[in-house]
């Protein structure tokens, strides 16, 4: 392989390198709860409070929702607004970057809903084959 080909391949696959910053972004977006939080915030036309998100995201713990929201806020995907009331009111919305990411995560969530039955059927077929005794050659 010549030097030019190596350089082109290195540039083309730079996103796969361990030291590429985009890998950290993909890790955040690939997180199950990040996907759900971005999708949930994207489906509403208004800011959502913490407990609203927690009710929407059945099964998420308070700790995990807090960690996920902090990560998304740190990455500039979610905006957090605190209002000086007693008790303090905190609302979360998507930033412009978060809306763009939310479109992707919503598409993934919609695809999962649309294809869940097919995936479950494939799993059942696979598991049934795996449970069969080996056949002689």
pLDDT digits (tens, 9 = 90+) for 78-90: 999 999 998 889 9
Domains contained in the chain, number:
1
Does residue 94 form part of some domain?
A: yes
Among 1-10, 21-30, 89-98, 107-116, whose mean pLDDT is lowest? 1-10
Mean pLDDT of the region 115-128: 95
N residues, the chain: 137
Does residue 17 form part of some domain?
A: no
Sign of CA dihedral 91, 78, 75, 68: positive
Query: Which residues are within 8 A (CB) of 36 and not within 5 positions of it... i.e. 6 or more apart?
Result: 57, 60, 105, 109
- Contact indicator for 38, 96 with CB cutoff of 8 Å: no
Single pTM value for the model: 0.78
Does residue 72 form part of some domain?
A: yes
Domain ranges, residue 62:
22-131
pLDDT in tens, 44-68: 879 999 999 999 999 999 999 999 9
Note the pLDDT of residue 130: 81
Tokens at 1, concatenated: 């392989």
Does residue 11 form part of some domain?
A: no
Q: How confident is the model at residue 76 (pLDDT cuts 50, 70, 90)?
A: very high
């Amino acid at each position: 392989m010549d030097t030019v080909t190596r350089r082109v391949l290195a540039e083309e696959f730079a996103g796969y390198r361990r030291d590429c910053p985009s890998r950290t972004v993909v890790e955040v977006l690939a997180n199950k709860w990040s996907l759900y939080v971005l999708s949930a915030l994207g489906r509403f036309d208004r800011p959502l409070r913490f407990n609203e998100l927690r009710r929407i995201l059945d099964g998420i713990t308070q700790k995990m929702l807090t960690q996920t929201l902090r990560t998304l806020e740190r990455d500039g995907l979610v905006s957090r607004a605190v209002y000086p009331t007693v008790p303090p009111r905190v609302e979360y919305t998507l930033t412009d970057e978060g809306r763009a990411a939310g479109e992707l995560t919503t598409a993934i969530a919609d695809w999962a809903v649309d294809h869940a039955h097919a995936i479950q059927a494939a799993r059942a077929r696979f598991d049934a084959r795996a449970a069969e005794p080996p056949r002689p050659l």
